[in-house]
Chains A and B, each alone.
Chain A
Amino acid sequence: METTAEINRVDIEMAPGSTGIFSMLSGYGFFIEAPAGISVNALLQKKLGLDAGYIEKHIQTILHDGKPVDDIDGWKIKEDSTIALSAALPGLFGAAFRRGGKFAALRPREMPAESGRHPENDAITITVKLFNLSARELGPQLLQNGIQMSAETFLSLWKNILKLDRGKSLNVLLNGNKIDPHTLAESIRPVNVLLSVLTH
């Protein structure tokens, strides 16, 4: 991850009830630092703060670099890889890609991945994507604490947010200074963005 000096810090203050931004986080990856060799389950519990009951009930599909994860304890996460989390999904696809589901035979099943060559105490960077209800439910807390994403990803997300909200109910700060939401994109420097969202 980048040093603080290379990060654009974007703080968004939203009016109460403007929760759309959390759902819109769906599909846009953000970075998390974790120890090398961390399992999917440990990532969810220790880094995202989810309890075992929530994971069991609500995180029904997990993809690691696009491949479905069934064994969340055995599956180790590689550096620079992407973990995607989804709530229950409809259709045959949803059934087939459900974690440990009865219809897993309908799609390829993978063995737990190697974690790479890093010593266990090394830190690695993982991209996390939240989808659908996962984004809506986990987004507020994560965004309140701040998430880091690439500037390219942020600009793509920001374009959608602006299209939806037209900047009407957003109070935006860039590196601590208030900025017109419509000029924010021009002021974002390359590399990463630390995004936090607060509702009043």
Chain B
Amino acid sequence: MDKILRINMGPNGEPSYTTEPIGDFAGLGGRGLTSAIIAKEVPPTCHALGEENKLVIAPGLLGGTTGAMSGRVSVGCKSPLTGGIKEANSGGQPAQMIGRLGYAAIVLEGKPAEDKLYKIRISTEGVEIAADPELKMKGNYDVVERMKKEYGDKIACVSIGQAGEMKLASSTVAFTDMEQRPARHAARGGVGAVMGSKGVKVIVIDDTGASMRSPKDPEKFKAANRAFVDGLKKHPVTGEGLPAYGTNVLTNVVNEAGGYPTYNFKTGRFKGAAAISGENQAEIMKARGGQPTHGCHRGCVIRCSGIWHDKDGHYLTKQPEYETVWAHGGNCGIDDLDVIAMLDRLDDDYGIDTIEIGATIGVAMEAGLAEFGDGQAAINLVKEVGKGTPLGRILGSGAAVTGKVFGIERVPVVKNQAMPAYDPRAVQGMGVTYATSTMGADHTAGYSVTANILGVGGSVDPLAPAGQVELSRNLQYATAAIDSTGMCLFIAFAVLDQPETFQALIDMINAFHGLELTADDVTALGKKVTKIERDFNEKAGFTNKDDRLPDYFKKEALAPHNVTFAVTDEDLDTVFADL
């Protein structure tokens, strides 16, 4: 993984590609690499759908190795949704295959002069780029089936659905999973629209003949990997809770805590929560012959995903995640897992972000386009997006645009990106992260490793108001670092509580690359990535006024605890004062 593949889609003549050494970007992977390339090479004020923007697809530092949990991939660009820098993260098989082909990143550049749609095949034999008009306005599932027929069943695909082709701001980039289904998505921020603007419908990855990447010190790597896996398996979250119920294990408890955004963030509890909970979901999957415990890529030992079958026992979609179940469920007043699963399938096929579109439908319901709780109406609205009707294009442009079009004040976004499934009034520290993240409202932006383990910022007084600000900042640094390794962010639970597991992670990276990183270096990496992203956003025109939640979170008390968001603007402005 010492080279970067650059594919120029135009505008001068036909698309072409070059391969170059990783050069100045050595030592970076995943989010660290995508953000570094975007910050260095993309003018912050450019149009996100213009030729100057780039789409960077990068596995992590351990992509293509036998390291457990190392199959995540980062997709970076200037976001058409937020207008700032974006890294969206996904599971699936392509990251490992791209790594085995030796690429640290694939960069899509330029823009075709003509309205052509291309497919790209990357293999040990090189790169083939060909126009394929037959793929126009095809869904992700159809595209992957066509690629399998054409290139065989050993491939993985990176593709966009209709939403990406229409360059909608909620569109995703899909990555195929172990079953070659396009069910894994780099979903947030409209990254699919940028791929669509480059005229690229699908990238086929074929690593036939490529070898697993070899560590510099195989014995040390093997031992560290074993210790890392042991740490994940013995931790109650990664070893028990997530495998049993997936991320949707959160529904019941977030609801009980009064932090479950319901009816477009009007209240913090949903009466139908138990019916759509992870516990109920797991039992339904078992009864129908689905799988409640399944990995999203090979080498995953947590296996928090699953396979959802319909009432007749046929595959419909992967197990909808907590965020999806919330966005299409409680947020829209829908308590039927079959409806939610159908919406998830449509989202994956059209290539739209389940969080963004779920929040958008909530806003649309508030605007009177449908009744809260009407599952069929929600399905119909999502189908509008797939068909590209004028209404569908408005909805597919996200919650902020939809709120403006229909004159709705209660629009739960930061930097135009919809909030995920935790009301910031009930979890105020989450609100700090939503407000100040470089990505817009993002629950994964400040997620992971304790300040004490990473040694940043000193100790935190949990009862002091400033504690939330300090914790949020340190968590955002740590998250940026983990995203750069290409590790699944869920490893954070074990790393959080078990210093020896965190050390095993560092040992894996060191043994593989022949480095001597310490915990401080990992922290410094996270801080560096965050600074790169903050600088880009500032040059793109963002100010501290963009690091705010919508006003109504400060004014409207959230039932049942009747709380408002109480962190002051002055405190929010201190989050990144050290950068």
Interface residues of A (CB under 8 A from B): 20, 23-24, 26-28, 57-58, 60-61, 63, 66-68, 82, 84, 86-97, 102-109, 129, 131-133, 135-136, 156-157, 160, 163-165
Contacts and interface: CB of A to CB of B under 8 A. Distances in A.
Contacts of B253: 61, 63, 84, 86, 89, 93, 97, 131-132
A185 to B, nearest CB: 15
- Return the 8 tightest CB-CB contacts between A and B, nearest first: A106-B429, A27-B274, A105-B467, A88-B236, A26-B279, A20-B283, A105-B462, A66-B258
26 contacts: A23-B280, A27-B252, A27-B256, A61-B253, A63-B257, A66-B269, A84-B256, A88-B240, A91-B247, A94-B237, A94-B250, A95-B493, A97-B257, A102-B462, A102-B496, A105-B463, A105-B467, A106-B430, A106-B468, A108-B426, A108-B428, A109-B462, A156-B274, A164-B280, A164-B284, A165-B287
Interface stretch (B188-196, B200-208, B444-452): B444-452
A94 B253 CA distance: 9
Given A93-B253, A102-B460, 4 more contacts: A91-B443, A94-B250, A103-B471, A105-B471
A156 B273 CA distance: 11
A90 B273 CA distance: 18
A26 B252 contact: yes
B55 interface: no
Nearest to A66: B258
A109 B273 CA distance: 24
Interface string B238-253: 0011101101011011
A93 B252 contact: no
A45 to B, nearest CB: 20
A93 B422 contact: yes
Nearest to B563: A108
B560 interface: yes
A132 B278 contact: yes
Interface of B: 235-237, 240-242, 244-245, 247, 249-250, 252-259, 269, 273-275, 277-280, 282-284, 286-287, 304, 422, 426-430, 433, 443, 446-447, 450, 452, 460-464, 467-468, 471-472, 475, 490, 493, 496, 560-561, 563
Nearest to B466: A105
Chain B facing A: main interface SS: helix
A132 B245 contact: yes
B496 A89 contact: no
Contacts of B244: 132-133, 136
Q: Which of B241, B254, B560 has the most CB of A within 10 A?
A: B241
B279 A131 contact: yes
Nearest to A107: B427
Contacts of A93: 250, 253-254, 259, 422, 427, 430
B447 A91 contact: yes
A26 B255 CA distance: 12
A34 B304 CA distance: 38
B237 A164 contact: no
Specify which of A27, A97, A135, A163 lies most central, judged by the most chain B CB atoms within 10 Å of its CB.
A27
Given A66-B256, A90-B242, A106 B279 contact: no
B330 to A, nearest CB: 13
Contacts of A68: 257
Given A88-B237, A132-B241, A94 B493 contact: yes
Contacts of A20: 283, 286-287
Residue of A87, A95, A129 ringed by the most chain B CB atoms within 10 A:
A95
Contacts of A104: 462
Nearest to B271: A156
B122 to A, nearest CB: 34
A131 B280 CA distance: 11
A115 B283 CA distance: 37
A109 to B, nearest CB: 7
A90 B250 contact: yes
A92 B475 contact: yes
A63 to B, nearest CB: 5
Contacts of B426: 107-108
A160 B274 contact: yes
Contacts of B252: 26-27, 86, 129, 131-132
B274 to A, nearest CB: 3
A54 to B, nearest CB: 12
Contacts of A63: 253, 256-257
B277 A27 contact: yes
Contacts of B257: 63, 66-68, 97
Contacts of A107: 426-429
A129 B256 contact: yes
Nearest to B283: A20
B274 A26 contact: yes
B430 A133 contact: no
A131 B450 contact: no
A163 B335 CA distance: 13
A93 B261 CA distance: 13
A66 to B, nearest CB: 4
A90 to B, nearest CB: 5
A104 B237 CA distance: 17
A28 B274 contact: yes
Nearest to A153: B274
A90 B462 contact: no
B236 A27 contact: no
Contacts of B429: 92, 96, 103, 105-107
B306 to A, nearest CB: 14
Contacts of A94: 237, 250, 493
A116 to B, nearest CB: 19
Contacts of B241: 87-90, 132-133
Contacts of B471: 103, 105-106
A30 to B, nearest CB: 13
